[in-house]
Amino acid sequence: MPRSAAILFLTMLATIAAAAAPPEWKPERAIEIVVGVTPGGPADTSARMIQKILQDKRMVTVPVSVSNRAGANNALAWIYLNAHAGDAHFIAMTLPNIVTNRITGAHDLSFADVTPLAQLNSESIVFSVKADSAIKNGAELIARLKANPTAVSIAFSNIGSANHIGAGIVMKTAGFDVRKLKFVAFKGASEAVTALMGGHVDVVASSGSTVAPQVESGALRLIAVAAPKRLRSYPAVPTWREQGVAASFSNWRGVIGPKGMSAAQIAYWDDLLGKIVRTEEWTKEVAQLGWESEYLNSADSRKFLERQNEELKGILGELALAKTQ
């Protein structure tokens, strides 16, 4: 083939390849980060950290807002997200409910109906009481429940949430029939803490950062952590294992987009979220809150959620929370 013809042929191939490749995407209007719980909890905090870093470091040229759409175990937020199918200007925070809702029968929408974008962090579950509570530690809580399973109310955010699962695992490991305990679910962890502060419930199972302000002020007191070892942020608080209950569980947070996102949109958020978690601001805040940084990109996040689906089916079945036993 003559040299000029070869050049023309290669130019044509490059043109065809460029036409076939998906065009790059970037936001052209405001970005909305949707949170399915009330303000103040770790998922809300994570969303506002993303918002602040995007704005402060000028990673985007459009406005960024956070909207709280609590209800239906986070499903209201994800339904709203999917109402904007294929529109990557909308993203949402996830909690284990994106997996557990369908398993428990709380709602049909699951991770398979949206676009996984990232896993961000995780945090062990802690158990707190009012500072003046007669319950001094985890062992004493167990003793009270053995004497009367309904004597103590244990609150958490949402049926099937990590906080619910964590409380259930601890109590089942301690030998209780969890269906006979006085569990109380709220729309968000902050609402559960408000109920505890008001004396409406006796114990709250939550992420440690949720109750940190109240613990630091002396209004609340931690009695146990559901972690393999004592937390860096609360070194004086014993684990459940130290108090005779060999149980642990952690909460995780991630990011999803609506269904129908293009490859270019996913690639954009893969790149942007990956940059956010590598910033000094993010790293410092995560460490200060006592969270574990566990970033996964879109492809690995989907695999993670698939694994969680299989694992949590078993756990929820054991806790009598699965829709089909």
Per the DSSP assignment, residues forming a β-bridge with 292 are 122
Of 302, 309, 307, the closest CA to residue 118 belongs to 302
**Rounded to whole angstroms, how far apart are CA atoms 107 and 118?**
22
Structure tokens at 225: 């952590």
**Residue carrying the six token digits 């109750």:** 211
**Residue carrying the six token digits 């699951």:** 110
**Rounded to whole angstroms, how far apart are CA atoms 190 and 238?**
23
pTM: 0.80
The tally of CA atoms less than 13 A away on the side-chain side of residue 40 is: 16
Determine contact, residues 140/236, Cβ cutoff 8 Å: no
Determine contact, residues 228/215, Cβ cutoff 8 Å: no
Structure tokens at 271: 């790149």
Determine contact, residues 252/81, Cβ cutoff 8 Å: no
Largest CA distance in the chain: 93
**Rounded to whole angstroms, how far apart are CA atoms 93 and 190?**
16
Give the single-character DSSP code of 320.
T
User: Which 3 state secondary structure label does DSSP give 164?
Assistant: helix
Please give the average pLDDT of every successive group of 10 residues along the chain, which has 325 residues. 58 54 84 94 94 98 97 95 98 96 94 98 95 97 97 92 93 94 92 96 94 96 95 93 94 97 98 98 92 94 96 88 73
Backbone angles phi, psi at 213, to 5 degrees: -60, -40
What's the angle, vertex CA 173, arms to CA 168 and CA 174, rounded to 5?
100
Which residues lie below 8 Å from residue 139, measured CB to CB, with a gap of 6+? 243, 244
Instruction: Give the torsion through C-alpha atoms of 239, 243, 247, 248, to 10 deg.
Output: -10
User: Which 3 state secondary structure label does DSSP give 294?
Assistant: strand
Determine contact, residues 43/119, Cβ cutoff 8 Å: no
Q: How many CB atoms lie within 10 A of CB 65?
A: 11
All structural domains of the chain: 31-122+251-318 (3.40.190.150), 124-250 (3.40.190.10)
**Helix, strand, coil percent values for the chain (each to nearest 5):** 45, 20, 35
Of 8, 204, 20, 201, the closest CA to residue 125 belongs to 204
